[in-house]
């Protein structure tokens, strides 16, 4: 793709995104570890007027505030264990309550499994899942380039396996509902952002006035 074509795509996507989405839309950004979800979530949320909700940030904020739950979370993380689903759901429920039912939300890092998505649907129905698709070999290259001690090839392979086993079944559920959009994440960040903005704009026009009342 030439630079001029890429620039036209970006400008067109930003123009299409100027009108706000339905206030109550809930979008999930999914993808393998290292796919660039956090970066894209921040960019897209700011462009579309959505509230970016990162479960990682929610946990870190709770730990930093040294609440009773925060201290328990610190112990869990220090021991190398995963935060249990109910605790994550409670944190997310509180965040969504603060956002309110009339503001759009872009979730990054949750849900990752069928059971998590089912539980979230009872709190706030998920309208659309955007999957950033990056080949496994590129993910390994990206994560290894970070130079972190825990980014060994074996550890990365294990994380990718968990994604295939736990998250892909969830994606198939949303695909069957017609609520999954797969986007190539192995491109320049600005092109990925433009693609996401364009897909959300398309969704907006297709569903204008059709989003159910969630008051």
- Residues 115-125: pLDDT tens digits? 999 999 999 99
Position 81 in a domain: no
Position 33 in a domain: yes
pLDDT at 109: 82
- Domain encompassing residue 197: 3-53+105-206
Position 63 in a domain: no
Domain count, the chain: 1
If phi > 0 it is left, if psi is from -120 to 50 it is alpha, else beta; for residue 201 that is alpha
Position 75 in a domain: no
Position 19 in a domain: yes
Position 69 in a domain: no
pLDDT at 37: 95
CATH number at residue 174: 3.40.50.300
pLDDT at 4: 43
pLDDT at 23: 57
Tell me the torsion sign for CA atoms 173, 37, 135, 199: positive
Position 214 in a domain: no
Residue 105 backbone phi and psi in degrees, to 5:
-130, 140
Find, among 134, 184, 140, 142, the residue nearest to 158 by Cα: 140
pLDDT tens-place values along the chain, 215 residues long = 444 444 455 445 444 444 444 457 899 999 999 999 999 999 999 998 899 999 989 999 999 999 999 999 999 888 878 899 999 999 999 999 999 888 899 999 899 999 999 999 999 999 999 999 999 999 999 999 988 887 888 889 988 999 999 999 999 999 999 999 999 999 999 999 999 999 998 888 887 655 445 55
Count Cβ atoms within 10 A of the Cβ of residue 138 and give its class: 0-12 exposed, 13-18 middle, 19 or more buried: middle
Q: How much of the chain, in percent, has pLDDT values that exceed 90? A: 65
């Amino acid at each position: 793709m030439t630079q001029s074509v890429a620039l036209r795509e970006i400008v067109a996507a930003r123009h299409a995104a100027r009108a706000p989405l339905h206030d109550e839309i809930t979008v999930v950004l999914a993808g393998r570890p290292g796919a660039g979800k956090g970066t894209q979530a921040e960019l897209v949320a700011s462009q579309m007027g959505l509230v970016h909700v990162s479960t990682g940030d929610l946990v870190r904020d709770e730990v930093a505030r040294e609440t009773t739950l925060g201290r328990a979370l610190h112990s869990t993380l220090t021991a190398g264990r995963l935060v249990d689903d109910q605790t994550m759901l409670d944190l997310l429920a509180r965040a969504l309550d603060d956002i309110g039912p009339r503001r759009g939300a872009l979730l990054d890092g949750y849900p990752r499994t069928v059971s998590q998505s089912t539980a979230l649907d009872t709190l706030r129905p998920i309208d659309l899942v955007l999957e950033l698709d990056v080949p496994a070999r590129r993910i390994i290259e990206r994560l290894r380039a970070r130079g972190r001690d825990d980014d060994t090839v074996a550890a990365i392979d294990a994380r990718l396996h968990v994604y295939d086993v736990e998250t892909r079944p969830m994606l198939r559920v949303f695909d069957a509902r017609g609520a999954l959009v797969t986007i190539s994440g192995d491109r320049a960040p600005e092109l990925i952002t433009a693609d996401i903005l364009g897909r959300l704009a398309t969704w907006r026009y297709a569903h204008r006035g059709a989003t159910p009342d969630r008051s």
